[in-house]
Amino acid sequence: MRVILIGGGETIETIYFLSRLFARRGYRVTIVNPHSDEARMLSRQVKATVIVGDGSDPAVLEEAGARRADVVLSLTPQDPDNLVACQVAQRLYNVPRTMALVNDPDNEQIFRQLGITEVFSATRVIGSLIEGQTVFDEITHLFPAAEGQLHVSELVLDEDAPATGKSLAELDLPHDSLVAAIIRNGQVIVPRGQDRLQLADRLILIGLPENQEEVFRLLAGKGA
């Protein structure tokens, strides 16, 4: 997988950590950064090709290998720069996936209407993380999947939890919900109906958002 990452300035930290993550996964990463001092730092610290320049400039994108790139990810602090970088990548170099950061959440919809395949709003992501926090420490909403139709959450069984000591078959969970994994003493167990839950088990749950409250009540004795 060939990835081009565009950004710098206020988003330099994100660029650094993402490129490190991608490099560890074996992706071929090229970073386009407008500031020569940042570019120098990145080229010393990350396994990536670093190019100094404006990622929305067609010549710079071409130099970064846009013609053969699988993904272009534009993460500059300026929304217009992210839009144009992705559009140039898509239209001129036929990059199959273009992803843009929007700093102003109002632009999320606009970017989609203007043809960017994947759009992230940092403000929205952080907002939804806060909304995902529950009042109980035992329950963590991990992430919504399939545009929010499915929820993945994590729950730790404490001594008050009604599910402790019971088997999954006895629990009679709602139909569209699943205990996908049990994490017990650091080991991952993919459970079957007869497996008994124990104190301090961490359960990874997958289910429909509307069933969530019922699932939490049956397992932990409390709602979200």
Partner 1 sequence: MQPHQYIIIVGCGRLGSMLANQLSGLGSSVVVIDREETAFNTLSTEFSGFLVTGDAAELDVLRRARIDKADCLLATTQHDNVNLMVAQVAQTIFQVPKVIARVSNPSREEVYGRFGIETICPTTLSAEAFLSALGNQPEAK
Binding positions for partner 1, rule: CB under 8 A: 56-59, 78-81, 83-84, 87-88, 91-92, 104, 106-107, 110, 113-114
Decide: 169 and 189 in contact? Cβ < 8 Å: no
Please state, as a whole number, how many other Cβ atoms lie within 10 Å of the Cβ of residue 19.
Answer: 24
If the CB atoms of residues 100 and 215 are measured against partner 1, the closer one turns out to be 100
If the CB atoms of residues 39 and 116 are measured against partner 1, the closer one turns out to be 116
Taking the complex as a whole, the smallest distance from the CB of residue 188 to partner 1 amounts, in Å, to 46
If the CB atoms of residues 16 and 93 are measured against partner 1, the closer one turns out to be 93
If the CB atoms of residues 75 and 224 are measured against partner 1, the closer one turns out to be 75
Taking the complex as a whole, the smallest distance from the CB of residue 216 to partner 1 amounts, in Å, to 38
Decide: 29 and 99 in contact? Cβ < 8 Å: no
Please state, as a whole number, how many other Cβ atoms lie within 10 Å of the Cβ of residue 223.
Answer: 14
Residues 6+ apart with CB under 8 A from 21: none
Residue type present at position 24:
R
Decide: 158 and 139 in contact? Cβ < 8 Å: no
3-state DSSP assignment of residue 187: strand
Decide: 39 and 68 in contact? Cβ < 8 Å: no
Taking the complex as a whole, the smallest distance from the CB of residue 91 to partner 1 amounts, in Å, to 6
Taking the complex as a whole, the smallest distance from the CB of residue 113 to partner 1 amounts, in Å, to 6
If the CB atoms of residues 59 and 130 are measured against partner 1, the closer one turns out to be 59
Taking the complex as a whole, the smallest distance from the CB of residue 15 to partner 1 amounts, in Å, to 18
